[in-house]
Amino acid sequence: MDNLMQDFPLRVTNIIDHAAKYHPNRKIISKDTSGKIIETNYNQIRKNSLKVSSALNDMGIKKGDVIGVMAWNNHRHLEVWYGIPGAGAINHNLNPRLFSEQLIYIINHAEDKMLIIDSDLVPVIEKIIDQCPLVKACVILCDENVLPENNLPNAISYEKLLSTGNENFSWIKGEETDACGICYTSGTTGNPKGVVYTHRSNTLHALTQAAPDMLNLSSQDSIMPVVPLFHANGWSIAYTAPLVGASIIFPGGDMSPKSLYEMLEKGVTITAAVPTVWLLLLSFLENEKRTLSSLKRVVIGGSSCPRSVIEDFQNKYGVRVLHAWGMTELSPLGTICSFKPEVERLDDKEKLNVQETTGHPPFGVDLKITDDNQTEIAWDGETQGDLWCKGVAVVKRYLKMEEDAVDDESWFNTGDVATIDSNGYMRITDRSKDVIKSGGEWISSIDLENAAVGHPDVAEAAAVGVPHPKWDERPILVIVTKDGKEADKNSIIDHVANKIAKWQKPDDVLFVPEIPHTATGKISKLELRKVISELNYKHPDTH
Ligand code: ADP
C-alpha cells in the first residue's frame, strides 16, 4: 500500500519555526561577554536566525559548507545555531579550551570555511589562524562599535552581518538526513574524531530527550544550560528547549559559582552540567548561606555524580538530581535516572542507591553489555561488561573515516564498562581503559572516587591503578584537599573502605595541589598518570 501520510521533513529549522509560532514571547535571557543581561524571545531569535541564514547565503556559503563556531552560551549563539543550518550549512562547535594543535586539526579536518567567534575568544583564534588556510572569513559576535582590533581574515561584526540579512528569507530546503552539526570527541587518545549529526537525528533526539521519563521538559520550564553548547552537541538543549517552548537562561562565559547562582535565581527550574561545576556551586551555597528559590531539577552527567552531591542537592536545597550518561557519539543522551514505579516504591536510602546509577534509556536508544567474548551478560546489577549502544541518534561512522564505528548489527562499542540491573538501570563503573585490574578482578575507579569525595576534607579525588609485584595493579587515591594541605591518609582510606568490598580498598593516598582536567572539565587520567610517573611514585609494597 502507498504511504498515505504527509512528508514532514525532520529539519531543525522546523523546531525554531514551531517555537516562534507557538511560544513567540517565551523569554530568552542571556548574559553577554561584558556581563550585560539581554532579554529576547523565540520570535526575535528566529528573525535573527533568518537574517544570519540570508547573510551567509549572500556571502556565498553553500549547502554542505562547514562553519566553525566558538562561543559561550548566549542568545547570539542560539541565533547562529539555527542560522547556519538554515543556510544549508553545518555548525561545527569549537571548544576554546582545546589545545591549539587540536583546534587547528579539527578546523582543517572539518574544512571550516568561516568562523563565528565570541569577541573575548578572538585571541584564541588569532593564535592559530595562519595554520587554518581554508578559513576565508570571520564573524565576531559583537556590536559594530566594539569590534576588537584583530588580524583575522575578512572579519566583520555580528551586528553588521545581521544588518545585511533579510528576516523574510526562506530557510534553504534539503533532506532530513543532511548534515546539520559536527562535534569532535575530545581526543584524549589520538586525534579527535568528528561526529556528524543530521537534521533528523537532532530532531528525533530532542523529541526523546524532552519526554517525561527523561528531562520532562515543557513550556512551563526555564532551562539553564551550564554545559557549554560546544560540549557534546550542547547536550541538545538548544534543540529540546525550543521544541517544547521552554524558556532558556544563558549564563554566558562566566562560570564562577557566584555568577551561576545569580543566573539560576532568574527563575531557572532545570539546569545541566558536569559534576565539577556543581561541587563548586554547592560549596558556594554552603559558605554564603544561600538557598535556591526556583530550581527543581539538575541534570548531572559527563562523569559520574558522587552520592554526596545528590544528597546535598536533594536534602539541603530540595532540588531533584537527574543523573545522566551520554556521549558525543550519542547526540549525546544515553540514559537518565528518573524513577520508574518499581523505584518510586523504595525507601529514601534505596532510592539514593538507584540514583548512583545513570538510569535507563529513552525510546530510540538500545543498550547491551557483553563479556570478553562479546556474549551478552546478565542484567543483575553486579556483573560488569563492555557497554554497547545503538539508536536513532547514534554515530555510524566518524567524519572521513573509511570504516564504520559500529559492528555488523549496528552496535557501537562505547568504551565504557557498566552493569545493568533487573529494572534496566545502568551503572557506569569505568571507561574500559581506566579500569583497575587487581589479581584478575576489576575495581571500579568511579566507585572509589565517589566514595572519597564524600570525605569532609576531600575536594577532588581520582583513583588509579599503579603497578604491584603480586596483584599486577592496586588502586591508590590521588587527592586534592579542601584546604590544600595534606589530610589524614587513613581517615580517607577508612571512609572509602566503608562503602566498597574489602579487597577493593585503596592501598595509599597521594596528595597533589591539583588534578589535571580535560577540555570538557573531566579528570584526565592520561595526564594524571604522567604526573604520578613524574613524581616517581611507587606502590608502598615495592619499596
Ligand atoms: P568528552 O570526553 O569529550 O567529554 P563525551 O562527553 O562524549 O566527551 O564523553 C563521554 C564519556 O563520558 C562516556 O563514554 C563516559 O565514559 C563518560 N560519562 C558520561 N556521563 C557519565 C556518567 N554519568 N557517569 C560516568 N561516566 C560518564
Phi, psi of 68 (to 5 degrees): -85, 135
- 303: Cβ below 6 Å to ligand 1? yes
- 301: Cβ below 6 Å to ligand 1? yes
The neighbouring-strand residues paired with 273 are 300
Q: Is the pLDDT of residue 188 over 70?
A: no
CA of 98 to the centre of ligand 1 (A): 17
CA of 324 to the centre of ligand 1 (A): 10
- 202: Cβ below 6 Å to ligand 1? no
Euclidean distance between CA atoms 247 and 243, whole angstroms: 11
CA of 360 to the centre of ligand 1 (A): 16
CA of 414 to the centre of ligand 1 (A): 10
- 430: Cβ below 6 Å to ligand 1? no
- 431: Cβ below 6 Å to ligand 1? yes
Average pLDDT over residues 126-151: 97
DSSP state of 131: G
Whether 68 contacts 116, CB under 8 Å: yes
DSSP per-residue codes, 29-54: EEE-TTS-EEEEEHHHHHHHHHHHHH
Question: Residue 187: its pLDDT value, please?
Answer: 63
* Closest C-alpha to 395, from 206, 179, 231: 179
Residues tagged active-site: 185, 329, 437, 442
Question: Which stretch of 25-29, 54-58, 473-477, 527-531 has the lowest confidence by average pLDDT?
Answer: 527-531
Euclidean distance between CA atoms 77 and 238, whole angstroms: 10
CA of 325 to the centre of ligand 1 (A): 7
C-alpha cell at 487: 589530610
Question: Residue 154: its pLDDT value, please?
Answer: 97
How far is residue 428 from each of residues 283, 326, 357, 383, 387, measured CA to CA in Å? 26, 11, 7, 12, 9
Whether 285 contacts 292, CB under 8 Å: yes
Measured from the Cα of 522, ligand 1's closest atom is 4
User: Do you find a cis peptide bond into 212, omega within 30 degrees of 0?
Assistant: no
- 309: Cβ below 6 Å to ligand 1? no
Average pLDDT over residues 18-32: 97
- 95: Cβ below 6 Å to ligand 1? no
- 74: Cβ below 6 Å to ligand 1? no
Measured from the Cα of 328, ligand 1's closest atom is 7
- 264: Cβ below 6 Å to ligand 1? no
CA of 299 to the centre of ligand 1 (A): 14
CA of 303 to the centre of ligand 1 (A): 5
CA of 75 to the centre of ligand 1 (A): 27
The neighbouring-strand residues paired with 442 are 437
Question: Residue 123: its pLDDT value, please?
Answer: 97
- 416: Cβ below 6 Å to ligand 1? yes
pLDDT category, 519, cuts 50, 70, 90?
confident
Question: Residue 526: its pLDDT value, please?
Answer: 87
Pocket test residue of 325, 427, 520 for ligand 1, highest count of atoms within 8 A of CB: 325
Question: Residue 163: its pLDDT value, please?
Answer: 98
* Coil/strand/helix, residue 290: coil
- 520: Cβ below 6 Å to ligand 1? yes
Q: Tens of pLDDT along 303-351?
A: 999 999 999 999 999 999 999 999 999 999 999 999 999 999 999 999 9
Order of strands across the sheet that contains 27-31: 37-41, 27-31, 247-250, 222-225, 270-273, 297-300, 320-326, 333-336
- 331: Cβ below 6 Å to ligand 1? no
Looking up cell 604491584 gives: 468
Pocket test residue of 183, 197, 237, 303 for ligand 1, highest count of atoms within 8 A of CB: 303
- 102: Cβ below 6 Å to ligand 1? no
* Closest C-alpha to 242, from 206, 266, 212, 277: 206
Question: Residue 243: its pLDDT value, please?
Answer: 98
- 97: Cβ below 6 Å to ligand 1? no
Average pLDDT over residues 402-423: 97
Query: Which residue's C-alpha comes closest to atom 26 of ligand 1?
Result: 303
> Chain-wide mean pLDDT for the chain?
95
Q: Tens of pLDDT along 426-457?
A: 999 998 888 898 888 889 999 999 999 999 99
CB atoms within 10 A of CB 160: 16
Q: Tens of pLDDT along 200-256?
A: 999 999 999 999 999 999 999 999 999 999 999 999 999 999 999 999 999 999 999
End-to-end, the C-alpha distance of the chain in Å comes to 77
Euclidean distance between CA atoms 523 and 303, whole angstroms: 9
Q: Tens of pLDDT along 101-120?
A: 999 999 999 999 999 999 99
Long-range contacts made by residues 35-43, C-beta under 8 angstroms, separation at least 24?
35/252, 35/254, 38/74, 38/75, 40/75, 42/16, 42/242, 42/245
Question: Residue 518: its pLDDT value, please?
Answer: 87
Query: Which residue's C-alpha comes closest to atom 27 of ligand 1?
Result: 303
Question: Residue 189: its pLDDT value, please?
Answer: 62
Pocket test residue of 188, 230, 328 for ligand 1, highest count of atoms within 8 A of CB: 328
Question: What is the pTM (predicted TM-score) of this model?
Answer: 0.93
Query: Which residue's C-alpha comes closest to atom 2 of ligand 1?
Result: 186
How far is residue 172 from each of residues 59, 92, 526, measured CA to CA in Å? 14, 18, 44
CA of 431 to the centre of ligand 1 (A): 8
CA of 302 to the centre of ligand 1 (A): 4
Query: Which residue's C-alpha comes closest to atom 21 of ligand 1?
Result: 303
pLDDT category, 394, cuts 50, 70, 90?
very high
